[in-house]
Amino acid sequence: MNFYSLNNEAPMASFKEAVIKGIAPDRGLYFPESITPLPKTFFDTIESLSNTAIAFEAIRQFVSDEIPDDKLNAILKEVLDFEFPVITIEENVAVLELFHGPTMAFKDVGARFMAHCLGYFSKSTDNEVTVLVATSGDTGGAVANGFLGVKGVKVVILYPSGKVSDIQERQLTTLGKNITALEVDGTFDDCQKMVKTAFLDADLLKNMQLTSANSINVARWLPQMFYFLFAYKQLKSLGKELVFSVPSGNFGNICAGMVAQKLGMPVRHFVASTNVNDTVPQFMKTGEYKPKPSTATISNAMDVGDPSNFIRIRHLFNDNFDALNKNLSSFSFTDEETRGAIKKIYGMTGYIADPHGAVGYLGLKKYQKVYENNYGVFLETAHPVKFLDVVEDTLGIGLDIPYQIQKVMGKEKKAIKISNYSALKAHLLQHH
């Protein structure tokens, strides 16, 4: 299968080319030329399939030209070696936990899948690839962990100084080897802008092969559809219409859920739940897309003022606002409401949600207030311990530190401070 740029001014690319380039030469995001629904029998018998088998059937059409079936199967077995449980916490409300991987964040799946793909592709070439990635929190740790020690790949991570949690910072600054962390004097949007600028810098591109591991990269973005299929497998026997509420920052996760829907997964509706960075909730009210500078919140991985993947969501619905509106609602919530939700969930059920999951819960409850007779699933995208200060302060309790986090707690942070694009460019040219 080929992938085309959503700006329509770049040549078609194979899956391999799209992964290695990250972003098209015309600065557009790559998008698959077609999405063929899976046979009805796949969904009829999904309970009998392993997670690996489900993932294989879902992603095969997008990658099979470049990755043979046996290799794809082997990659998926390594990527999906942990659980994705759905836990009912109140009537018609469940949480899908996506934090049981090595860095305790949902991005482990996409980062590992992309790392394996790049590792496979780099075996057939001597060219070194530099993965350049901006993070608002969890992407950095997941990418660092997924790519650690992958031959032929260097990783450079940009993160906003003082705007990621202590544990998130440790996960991306303490690994060493082929991983370098750049601490940026600015916001996530500044980091993301620098990354996008680098991809269009002829000087850099002449000297090195750059790619991105943000959800703009098709190999990071597409595997996220697995989560929704795994949840459907677990909930199908209920016989109820499903609603997914997804905490949304760059909108890659919810967009991948909508790809699962296009593959034929039965789902009634999606809710994009955001913090006060409400560019998409405003768009769903007015039909006008007006990006703005991001605002710092306690759900920092969603502090995004111009979400990259929203254009893919619009494209999935042919930029037809009415069709999108039937499938997507979007609501925004303040830090105060988020803390209130963490307290409410814990008080009612004993379940400890992180600030992002709490925003997902709020969006789901807002939707269910108007539309009844459905089964709602909100996504818990990171373990609450990754936001230790916020969660402990809100609930007045101490959290146990899981092994995955304990591993990085005593390690020394190593980061290079930069404040502008020219400093990033100088670093890349000096170290390529």
Say what the alpha-carbon torsion angle 116, 122, 127, 133 is, to the nearest 10 degrees.
-10
**Across the chain, how many H-helices and E-strands are there?**
20, 14
- Helix boundaries (H) for 209-354: 218-221, 225-235, 252-262, 279-286, 310-316, 321-327, 335-349
Left, alpha or beta for 162 (phi > 0: left; psi -120 to 50: alpha)? left
Note if 107 is an active site residue: yes
Structure tokens at 153: 């790949």
Residues in CB range of 407: below 8 A, 6 or more apart? none
Query: Degrees (nearest 5) of the Cα angle 270, 274, 275?
Result: 160
* From 21, 107, 154, 163, the catalytic residue: 107
Left, alpha or beta for 104 (phi > 0: left; psi -120 to 50: alpha)? left
Residue at token pair 């509420």: 245
Residue 269, SS3 per DSSP: strand
Structure tokens at 13: 């690319």
Active site residues: 107
